[in-house]
Structure 1
Amino acid sequence: MKIALRGTRSPILFGLLGIIIWCVYAAEPDQRSSGPASGSAVSQARLGRTLQTQPNPSPAAFAPSVGMRDTVLAGPAIPRPAGTPCVVELFRDVMLHDPGQGLPGEGFFPYAPPAGCPGPWSKVILQASFYNENPDTYLDGVMFTSISLDGVPLYMGGAQDNDVPTHWSVERDVTDYSAVLRAPRSGTLDIEGEPRFGPPFSSPYYASATLLFYPVTPAHGAQRVPDEVHALTDIGWQRVRAPTDLVGRTLSLPRNVERAYVDVLAHPRYNYDLVWFTCMPDADMAAFPELASPLAIGAARIGLEGDPPPQGCSGGSFREVQVSIDGQPAGVAPVYPRVHPLLNGWWNPSRMFQPSPTPQALNFMPYRVDLTPFAGQLSDGAPHTVALNLASSRIALDFAVSGTLLVYRDATSAQVTGQVTRNTLAGQPPAPQVASTLSRDAAGVVSGEVRTSSVRRYAIEGYIDTSRGRIRSTVERDVKFHNVLAPRAYDPPGADLGTYELALDMTSSVDGTSRRYLDGALIAEDREVTRYPLDLTYRYLSVVLQQAFVRQTDHWRPGVAPYSARLRHETGLTYAADGAGNPTQWQGYQRYVFADSCDSCHRVSLATQGGALSGYVSGAGCPGGVNRLFWAARPDGSPGEMRWIDR
């Protein structure tokens, strides 16, 4: 492997050789994740049972075959270290709600750490699987499912909708939450949604979840994980109804905080926030009522009388999460534009995602905000409030927001002192710029563009004095939001519903660098590029969608080789139907590409046609045509630094 040294810094030879050996030794062929659960019999939930054997194969670990109509995923399983894990089964085949009953359903389960694996662990992985045996069920009412321990979300994700019995499986690397996993906890399994009525709308979902604890081995050591993990909510998330709503907690933290981060999740819970990225400014919705056409994108469902309801979304399309400490701005997190399958209740294109859903559809990845410049403030012995709020141009919201605070302590100091020395975010409240060229021509057709943009560049700096010396931290971020909406709407007199079209071009992104210096010498540098692009062309009975999840990271520590990772998960879908709702076009593709500087390579391309898998290529472009992953890699795009090196 070719190692690039950084500038004129002198590497420590032993450390450099160690990282080379570690990377090469640990890389193993990865495992696929997709497909039906093995067995569908419903059993009594078995909660908190600890086993010392290798778990059964993941419900999703099998080679997909052309023609299958059940769920197919392009991403890899979480890479494993060597050895046999200890297994804690959280629950098995738990019914998320009874047939004929409404949502939400909520259940509780006890958790106890594995008696035979007291930790520390080299890695901890959550496996979860879901299924619904009724192919006629409408899953569009499900917003998300979550699994949490004492409020710390281990998993949050959406539902899949196939025209066959539907199964899907997910995995999460939860090693960073080891502090929560070391002691008994109360667990919550929660499904959120808005029900419809009648048997086709209320068939039950079944869920199973297991934690895999991999013990430390000579080749796969204990990773440097947060010393404390604090939930900012009680059940893993909190409903947000307005931009002023705060999701947070007042905490008394240790006196020796060296680093701090908060993992942020924000996604629509229901109502028009399901399509928040299509929302027009209030002034345009008032001036052009054609934008509320029943043919438009919207969350309204057909009433009992069967008439098409008005659609369209007002309030504007800007969304970002703001992080604060004691009311002072501390960071920003982008909101991933998850496309819910129900774009219009009248013709319901929810089958569009069969058999392969869009990125982030079934497994929401948190965004990590670096709060390290505030370490001195957090260590002063006083209670501090860490809070999130959803910045939005729309006043009425319906989002689920989650926050998890991660704290690293200075093991060599009982108490550190310090302060924030610079914070340019404090003078930059969210203020999106909106420009509209919408107009109505002589024929009564409304057209033009609505451009919404926000650009914030900020730097936050602080220091702490420790027994090792003064550590200065800097966090620099460029946070950008751009969205262009180009509608074309016509509402003729009489009973004719007219026409409605919408073209959308959106990108939400963060570029940034975090650095730490010990007595003036650089000891850590972490760079990130995160992109959430979305292109959508919609008209009644037709959708063309292109979406991607892009994440690039570069990490440097003194004396070892730099580590970099590149992920791009993209999809393209086309769905069209005739007047009776029968599909006339139904095709798509997905590409998943991950690589890192430890020789990881995962490349999968798949194609779908008519709701079935029509092509699947794995490993093409990787050495030897085989997908391989470094054991500590994060191929799913979840946050993480060089924790296998940091000590």
Structure 2
Amino acid sequence: MSMLAGVILSASTFLGAGPASAAPPADAARPAATPARSADQVAATPRDAPSETPAGTAADTADRYADAPSGTAADAPAEFGTDWHDPLTAAPPVAKPATKSCAVTVAEAQFRDFTPYRGTYTPPSGCGDRWSKVVLRLDGKVKGRQFDRLGYLHIGGVEVFRTSTPEPSPDGIEWSVEKDVTRYSDTFRRDGDVEMLIGNVVDDTYTGVLDVKVTLTFYAQGGAVQSAAAPDRVLTLQDGTLTTPRNSERIVAEVYATGSGGGCEEYWYLTVPDPAPYSCKADQGPYREVQIKVDGRLAGIAEPFPTVWTGGWSNPFLWYVIPGPRAFDIKPIEYDLTPYAGLLNDGRPHRIDVSVVGVPAGQTGWSTPVDVLVWQDAKRAHVSGALTEVRVGDLTNSSTDTPGSQERLDTAGGHRLTTAGYVDTSHGRVWTTVRRTLANTSAHRWTDGENTDALKATWTDDETVTVDGRGPVGVRRTHRTYTMDGTTTLAADDRLRTVLTLGDRAAVDETRGGRRTTWSRLDDTYAGDATYTANVPRDQRHAVGTTSERYRLYGSDGCYDRVLVTVQGVLTRDRSDC
């Protein structure tokens, strides 16, 4: 049986940068399986629990942390019931200053179809118009039966938040998401239209209505907790073009790239080229790269994060309590376009194009809305400059198919880009050089019929930004690593088991004059192991599952370390150490 055949997942319902189509694609039941464990790792699984737990899986973690203050594994039922713990993540809450705050409700709506919520935003009174921090909070609730759904929030035409939703229990769940949105302060200083959409389908089968409220809380200046200096302007594209202020001295583009669309691009990392016998095809295989161009010239490259939505890998029992990294707060890809500032500062509109390498021609499946953040020179009406270098390396992308009783596709891809330029500011000539190097390797294995389907993949995205102007040279190095190691197996008795580990890691170092000034290390690791009976009504699935997340962030600003573990939807560990 094909594990990806007929996949039309609700989080994969296409969500564009603007209003979505009023007519959603047809929904379908989850496929019997998606990526699976390899045959040499998994045997047939008994009804009540996995027969063998591979070392290092989430169940392993639960055994080690069974002394959790929030409960123990013994508190968990023998299998999933009709209710479970509300969704939560191990990520830290947004740090807030101890200053006066003002809250504004931005949107409050029930989403039951593909009609966007529309309203108006008015800046808060009583907290000034310069803030030390602005925090967005979404509170949601849903009950019944529903798929995962994608959503966005626009204020004044600027995309400030992109998210996906958890899948509910019959008895109902509540969840919340916080995000530091101080960078959009320019947008928040004036009245603007609000548009929010979480495209949804409600009918006799999918009964969950998404009830959400979004607020912005503004913290007056002062206090120990401060965000980085917010940009002076936040811009959006107009008919695909960008016109920057003529005194721009730093320009950063954000792209909220999400692979979805009601088909294989939700699982882009699993696609294969012909003639490999697999249900999801792409001309060049699974390598994806998000590119941004200015007037047709390559200005930025990036690896997309392999987000797994809360119904992903055909096993919602993996995600009922703990979502995969970034699923609730979809982070934008950032491109430093400062080398192009001298070109962009001519007062004319310039064409900005975003594309995704590897998507078959004419196929939808990616949404790539763009915000542009601009820092201005307050002492100059016009900052002149020049783009001095665009050096594009060869894009490598090869896939090798090895036929056999277990088919195997090995993929390796990568790319390099260097851009450089200068601007003549009121504080002298400033040179900016941006170097980015991408690499991806993956090994995809599956059996005939895809009843066993496995992927092990790593993506790296290395970026170095060097700024040379008045004073010592500043260098910011960022090394990003994304990992995925998972297998799904559908046994002869229709027991479907998924074992999956996801990693989101980043190392950042900043130096000034060769001396390190700040640094940080992030390691967000999710692990899950869940089994249920496929192709039967919900009350006959006899599902079991253990999931865990450890989020570690440490560096020159301190440390944070939190571990969550669940068993059959019961939170058995919630512990913070540092």
TM-score band, normalised by shorter chain: 0.7 to 0.9
Which amino acid in 2 is paired with 1:416?
A: V
Which amino acid in 2 is paired with 1:544?
A: V
> Equivalent residue for 1:76?
92
Q: What is the 5 A alignment of 1:54-203?
A: 69-92=85-108, 94-97=109-112, 103-132=113-142, 134=143, 136-140=144-148, 142=149, 144-163=150-169, 164-193=171-200, 195=201, 198-203=203-208
Aligned-pair distance for 1:485?
0.9
> Equivalent residue for 2:308?
339
Distance 1:458-1:561 versus aligned 2 partners, 3 A rule: closer
Aligned-pair distance for 1:448?
3.2
**Partner SS for 1:178:** helix
Which whole-Å CA distance do the structure 2 matches of 1:355 and 1:314 have between them? 33
Which of 430, 438, 441 is 2:403 aligned to?
Answer: 438
Distance 1:155-1:343 versus aligned 2 partners, 3 A rule: closer
Which whole-Å CA distance do the structure 2 matches of 1:123 and 1:570 have between them? 28
Aligned-pair distance for 1:350?
1.7
How many residues were matched structurally? 487
Aligned-pair distance for 1:206?
0.5
Which amino acid in 2 is paired with 1:397?
A: T
Which of 422, 430, 436 is 1:471 aligned to?
Answer: 430
Which whole-Å CA distance do the structure 2 matches of 1:500 and 1:259 have between them? 51
**Is 1:355 the counterpart of 2:305 in the alignment?**
no
Which whole-Å CA distance do the structure 1 matches of 2:264 and 2:545 have between them? 26
Which of 381, 398, 408 is 1:414 aligned to?
Answer: 381
- 1:429-484 CA deviation, whole Å, 9 max, x = no partner? x4522221124xxxxx4x23212221212211111122322111111111112222
Cα contact 2:407–2:447 (8 A) shared by 1: yes
> Equivalent residue for 1:518?
469
Which whole-Å CA distance do the structure 2 matches of 1:380 and 1:505 have between them? 47
> Equivalent residue for 1:35?
none
> Equivalent residue for 1:207?
212
Which of 301, 326, 345 is 1:379 aligned to?
Answer: 345
**Partner SS for 2:116:** strand
Which whole-Å CA distance do the structure 1 matches of 2:309 and 2:516 have between them? 41
Cα contact 1:162–1:355 (8 A) shared by 2: no
TM-score normalized by the length of structure 2? 0.79
Distance 1:219-1:545 versus aligned 2 partners, 3 A rule: closer
Aligned-pair distance for 1:352?
2.1
Cα contact 1:138–1:201 (8 A) shared by 2: yes
Which of 565, 572, 576 is 1:607 aligned to?
Answer: 565
Q: What is the 5 A alignment of 1:542-557?
A: 542-557=497-512
> Equivalent residue for 2:250?
259
Which whole-Å CA distance do the structure 2 matches of 1:394 and 1:559 have between them? 45
Distance 1:83-1:418 versus aligned 2 partners, 3 A rule: same
- 1:177-211 CA deviation, whole Å, 9 max, x = no partner? 11111110101111135x3x633403311010111
> Equivalent residue for 1:279?
271
Distance 1:473-1:362 versus aligned 2 partners, 3 A rule: same
Aligned-pair distance for 1:597?
0.4
> Equivalent residue for 2:480?
530
Distance 1:337-1:561 versus aligned 2 partners, 3 A rule: closer
**Partner SS for 1:363:** coil
Distance 1:617-1:127 versus aligned 2 partners, 3 A rule: same
Identical-residue share of aligned pairs (%)? 26
Which of 437, 451, 456 is 1:505 aligned to?
Answer: 456
Distance 1:436-1:391 versus aligned 2 partners, 3 A rule: same
Which of 500, 525, 529 is 1:570 aligned to?
Answer: 525
Cα RMSD, aligned residues only: 2.3
- 1:120-161 CA deviation, whole Å, 9 max, x = no partner? 1111110111111x2x31224x2x111111221211111111
Which amino acid in 1 is paired with 2:145?
A: T
- 1:557-602 CA deviation, whole Å, 9 max, x = no partner? 5699711121111111011123546245411211111112022x21
Cα contact 1:464–1:470 (8 A) shared by 2: yes
Distance 1:452-1:151 versus aligned 2 partners, 3 A rule: farther
Which whole-Å CA distance do the structure 1 matches of 2:501 and 2:533 have between them? 22
- 1:484-537 CA deviation, whole Å, 9 max, x = no partner? 2111215xxxxxxxx621110112221121011116x53422111111111111
Cα contact 1:64–1:72 (8 A) shared by 2: no
Aligned-pair distance for 1:282?
2.8
Which whole-Å CA distance do the structure 2 matches of 1:75 and 1:553 have between them? 18
Which whole-Å CA distance do the structure 2 matches of 1:616 and 1:362 have between them? 19
Cα contact 2:261–2:364 (8 A) shared by 1: no
Which whole-Å CA distance do the structure 1 matches of 2:237 and 2:290 have between them? 14
Which whole-Å CA distance do the structure 1 matches of 2:254 and 2:512 have between them? 23
**Partner SS for 1:276:** helix
Aligned-pair distance for 1:351?
2.5
Q: What is the 5 A alignment of 1:234-313?
A: 249-267=240-258, 268-284=260-276, 288=277, 291-292=278-279, 312-313=280-281
Aligned-pair distance for 1:221?
6.3
Cα contact 1:276–1:313 (8 A) shared by 2: no
Aligned-pair distance for 1:613?
1.2
Which whole-Å CA distance do the structure 2 matches of 1:559 and 1:524 have between them? 8
Cα contact 2:156–2:193 (8 A) shared by 1: yes
Distance 1:409-1:455 versus aligned 2 partners, 3 A rule: same
Which amino acid in 2 is paired with 1:502?
A: D
Cα contact 1:162–1:351 (8 A) shared by 2: no
Cα contact 2:435–2:464 (8 A) shared by 1: yes
Aligned-pair distance for 1:608?
1.2
Which amino acid in 1 is paired with 2:402?
A: T
Which whole-Å CA distance do the structure 2 matches of 1:384 and 1:75 have between them? 38
Q: What is the 5 A alignment of 1:561-600?
A: 562-578=517-533, 580=536, 582-599=541-558
Which whole-Å CA distance do the structure 2 matches of 1:129 and 1:232 have between them? 30
Which amino acid in 1 is paired with 2:508?
A: T
Cα contact 1:264–1:333 (8 A) shared by 2: no
Cα contact 2:474–2:511 (8 A) shared by 1: yes
Cα contact 2:508–2:520 (8 A) shared by 1: yes
Which of 226, 232, 252 is 1:227 aligned to?
Answer: 232
Cα contact 2:152–2:162 (8 A) shared by 1: yes
Which whole-Å CA distance do the structure 1 matches of 2:337 and 2:419 have between them? 9
Higher RCO, 1 vs 2 (CA within 8 Å, ≥6 residues apart)? 2
> Equivalent residue for 1:626?
none
Cα contact 2:146–2:168 (8 A) shared by 1: no
Which whole-Å CA distance do the structure 2 matches of 1:185 and 1:602 have between them? 36
Which amino acid in 1 is paired with 2:104?
A: V
Aligned-pair distance for 1:109?
1.3
Distance 1:590-1:412 versus aligned 2 partners, 3 A rule: same
Unpaired segments ≥5 residues, structure 1: 1-62, 98-102, 234-247, 293-311, 440-444, 491-498, 623-647
Aligned-pair distance for 1:166?
1.5
Which whole-Å CA distance do the structure 2 matches of 1:452 and 1:78 have between them? 38
